[in-house]
Amino acid sequence: MGLLIDGVWHEDNSDLIAPDGSFRRPASRFDGRGGGGAQPPTAGRYHLYVAYSCPWAHRALVMRALKGLQAAIPVSVVHWHLDTHGWRFEPTDDGATVDAVHGFDRLHQVYTAAMPDYTGRVTVPVLWDNQAGTIVSNESADVMRMLNNDFNAVAARPDLDFYPADLAAEIDAMNERLHGDVNSGVYKVGQAKTQDAYDAAFERLFAALDDLDALLASRRYLLGDRITESDWRLFTTLVRFDAVYVGHFKCNLRRIADYANLAGYLRELYQWPGVAETVVMAHIKRFYYVSQTGINPTGIVPGGPVLDFTAPHDRDHLKAA
């Protein structure tokens, strides 16, 4: 992979590793706030660029499905293989597509179409505004919030609100905790370049998972009886954990399947209407095991594990709103 510098592609990953060998996630450049976020939706105005493999892009796909925005906001899906020139568009029989807006070969061309001298990482998701001819946001947290809040006029399920005002402060606090110790935590473990960095991130990750499992023993969802944005931010990490992070990222103290409460909670979220269709495990496994040659130089994709997210979740004894 690499990044754009003044609109020119460079194969450089040095910004991803701190001096102490720990992984750090770059900030997004298009966050949607400067331009006021998504404007009132009209037919065909917005387009979503995603990767089935990426947990951050997966958040946007989940929210789009939950709110019933598939008809209102079409998607283009990049190929699962992230090579030295970044994400590319190459249709496959398991879901990758062409760039339906511009016909570009590479996602970084979408970025320079919005900002010719763009400098920064080229990431997914990307919410594109056809009318303004620019990127609204490439920050998954903002895209999730926009899909939840701003598109109710064209949503099939406008009644669903995953960021209710009375829980906003609690959701924000939970999101911050999840991001540091779990969502980015698995990357801090898997992409650590020193033993000390690995050990510290490993300890924090499993301490957080242990706490979350204990919390879910008496709560249906992270903040009580109502499912919120925080649950979906956790879901996209949990659904990848046993298939990828345990082996590939060496997050192997425990599997999610070994947790009494997290395992059933993961299955329940997977079984929400529309969510299963957003989980494309072939893309997920190939992306990590083939693209990240610094961790898996052979590029061999493991055949297992067998995962059945459709099994009974056994969470009905806990109150749900």
The answer to whether residue 187 is catalytic is yes
In angstroms, the Cα distances linking 271 to 23, 187, 221 are: 33, 26, 14
Q: What is the DSSP string of 187-242?
A: HHHHT-SSHHHHHHHHHHHHHHHHHHHHHTTT-SBTTBSS--HHHHHHHHHHHHII
Tokens representing 102 are 């511009």
Write down the pLDDT at residue 34: 38
Write down the pLDDT at residue 29: 61
Residue with tokens 């806990």: 318
Task: Point out which residues pair with 188 in neighbouring strands.
Answer: none
Q: Which of 46, 49, 52, 54 is catalytic?
A: 54
Rg value, the chain, Cα? 19
Write down the pLDDT at residue 35: 43
Chunked mean pLDDT (size 10), the chain, 321 residues: 88 63 56 54 88 98 97 97 96 96 98 95 96 95 95 95 98 98 98 97 98 98 98 98 98 98 98 98 98 96 98 97 91
The answer to whether residue 289 is catalytic is no
Tokens representing 247 are 């082996």
C-alpha span between 73 and 162 (Å, rounded): 19
Residue 45 neighbours by CB under 8 Å, 6+ apart = 39, 129, 130, 131
Write down the pLDDT at residue 31: 58
| Cis-peptide into 125, omega within 30 deg | yes
Write down the pLDDT at residue 15: 57
Write down the pLDDT at residue 33: 45
- 307: region left, alpha or beta (phi > 0 left; psi from -120 to 50 alpha): beta
Q: Which of 187, 259, 270, 289 is catalytic?
A: 187
Please count the other Cβ atoms lying within 10 Å of the Cβ belonging to residue 45: 17
